[in-house]
């Protein structure tokens, strides 16, 4: 998991907290240099810092939550896999293109003593790595690789864990030429027929069809500060108002946060994050994820394959159902 010992990367809304913490460090250093006891004052300021941190991260706007979801030090798919699994063997290639897509990782793991298949989008840890992994934007080969591993899991009765963290599928000319839309559509169809339990978790940014390509599951989990959206707020604002600068307004309207999706009945479980976000205490976040996956997996394993498929189908049929004032019947969007 990433450490927090490196120089912190501050988001705009974190600056007041950083200034207060810098002031505390300055006072502590001055006290040590001058052999003065200011422990009471420092304790008071630290309490204020804890209170401020709590206030900031419990009242984030959708646009601010998006910033946290995109934080460069937020734990990635491989970070979580290494933290929650007992063994992990990464497997490569879609067996069709002769290539391997590093933006979507797949493999076999052992989870709580049980063999499982784990897969997910993988962003880079720095600029060079991000370029190599195409910023987590998978190509058709990545989605075909994921489907190959899911079929392997179904054949051998292994549950599937999908970790979603992408701004969207790669929209480049080569990806379209290789059948990006077909690859995602194929996954959407085929995931509905799989007999094994499928648990999908949005660990950061769930964007558009790129997220849906590995997002058809029995349960959808999301971290508290993650987002799930049909289009990025910047793209939405550019389309609706011809002004990407209105992305904050778009983020509010799109209902992209875990709380919004929980209220809409799309999200099955909201996973709490440490105060300051998952990147502030990644091992705590990983433990929360591990417990939630174990609990949901046990519930799904108690069902028959047919019951799981039926519930999976009904889950997605209910998405988009809404009611209007003045009407007693339900309409479908």
Q: Which residues on neighbouring strands pair with residue 117, listed in sequence order?
A: 108, 160
Q: What is the pLDDT of residue 327?
A: 52
* Same domain, yes or no: 39 and 85: no
* Same domain, yes or no: 194 and 217: yes
**Burial category of 284 from C-beta neighbours within 10 Å (exposed 0-12, middle 13-18, buried 19 and up):** middle
Q: Taking the model in full, what pTM does it have?
A: 0.87
Identify the domain containing residue 266 by its residue range.
65-322
Q: How far apart are CA 48 and CA 41, in angstroms?
A: 11
Q: What is the pLDDT of residue 11?
A: 75
157 phi, psi to nearest 5 deg: 70, 35
Q: How far is CA 189 from CA 76, 117, 193, in A?
A: 27, 19, 7
For residue 5, being part of any structural domain is answered with no
Pairing of β 331-332 and β 321-322: antiparallel
Q: How far apart are CA 93 and CA 80, in angstroms?
A: 22
The length of the chain in residues reads 333
Q: What is the pLDDT of residue 8?
A: 67
Structural domain count, the chain = 2
Digit-by-digit pLDDT tens for the chain (333 residues) are 554 445 667 777 777 777 777 787 777 777 777 776 777 777 777 778 777 777 788 888 999 999 999 998 999 999 999 999 999 999 999 988 888 999 999 999 999 999 999 999 999 988 899 999 999 999 999 999 999 999 999 999 999 999 999 999 999 999 999 999 999 999 999 999 999 999 999 999 998 899 999 999 999 999 999 999 998 899 899 999 999 889 999 999 999 999 999 999 899 999 999 988 899 899 999 999 999 999 999 999 999 999 999 999 999 998 877 766 655 444 444
Q: How far apart are CA 18 and CA 279, in angstroms?
A: 16
3-state secondary structure of 201: strand
179 phi, psi to nearest 5 deg: 95, 50
* Same domain, yes or no: 151 and 123: yes
> In this structure, are residues 111 and 86 in contact, taking their beta carbons and an 8 Å threshold?
yes
Q: What is the pLDDT of residue 320?
A: 78
Q: What is the pLDDT of residue 330?
A: 44
Q: Which residues on neighbouring strands pair with residue 331, listed in sequence order?
A: 322
* Same domain, yes or no: 86 and 232: yes
* Same domain, yes or no: 70 and 50: no
Q: What is the pLDDT of residues 281-294, one digit of tens each?
A: 999 999 999 999 99
What's 192's domain CATH number?
A: 3.90.226.10
Q: What is the pLDDT of residue 210?
A: 92
* Same domain, yes or no: 151 and 195: yes
* Same domain, yes or no: 261 and 213: yes
Q: Which residues on neighbouring strands pair with residue 270, listed in sequence order?
A: 222
For residue 216, being part of any structural domain is answered with yes
* Same domain, yes or no: 123 and 183: yes
Give which of 280, 226, 279, 276 is closest to 52, Cα–Cα: 276
């Amino acid at each position: 998991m990433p450490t927090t010992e490196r120089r912190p990367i501050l988001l705009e809304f974190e600056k007041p907290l950083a200034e207060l913490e810098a002031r505390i460090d300055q006072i502590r250093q001055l006290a040590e240099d001058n052999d003065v006891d200011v422990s009471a004052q420092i304790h008071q300021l630290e309490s204020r810092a804890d209170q401020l941190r709590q206030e900031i991260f419990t009242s984030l706007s959708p646009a601010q939550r998006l910033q946290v979801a995109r934080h460069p030090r937020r734990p990635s798919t491989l970070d979580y896999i290494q933290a929650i699994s007992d063994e992990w063997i990464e497997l490569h290639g879609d067996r069709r293109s002769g290539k391997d897509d590093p933006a979507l990782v797949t493999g076999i793991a052992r989870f709580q003593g049980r063999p499982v298949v784990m897969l997910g989008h993988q962003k880079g840890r720095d600029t060079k790595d991000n370029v190599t992994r195409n910023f987590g934007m998978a190509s058709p080969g990545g989605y075909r690789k994921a489907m190959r591993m899911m079929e392997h899991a179904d054949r051998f009765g292994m549950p599937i864990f999908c970790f979603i963290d992408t701004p969207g599928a790669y929209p480049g000319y080569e990806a379209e030429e290789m059948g990006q839309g077909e690859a995602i559509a194929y996954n959407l169809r085929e995931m509905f027929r799989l007999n094994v339990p499928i648990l999908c978790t949005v660990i950061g940014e769930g964007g558009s069809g790129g997220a849906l390509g590995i997002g058809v599951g029995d349960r959808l989990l999301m971290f508290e500060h993650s987002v799930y959206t049909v289009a990025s707020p910047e793209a939405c604002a550019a389309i609706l108002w011809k002004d990407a600068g209105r992305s904050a307004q778009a983020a509010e309207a799109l209902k992209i946060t875990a709380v919004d999706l929980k209220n809409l009945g799309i999200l099955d479980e909201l996973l709490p994050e440490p105060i300051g976000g998952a990147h502030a205490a990644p091992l705590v976040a990983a433990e929360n994820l591990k417990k939630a996956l174990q609990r949901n997996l046990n519930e799904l394993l108690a069902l028959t394959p047919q019951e799981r498929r039926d519930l999976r189908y009904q889950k997605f049929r209910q998405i988009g159902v809404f009611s209007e004032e003045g009407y007693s019947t339900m309409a479908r969007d």
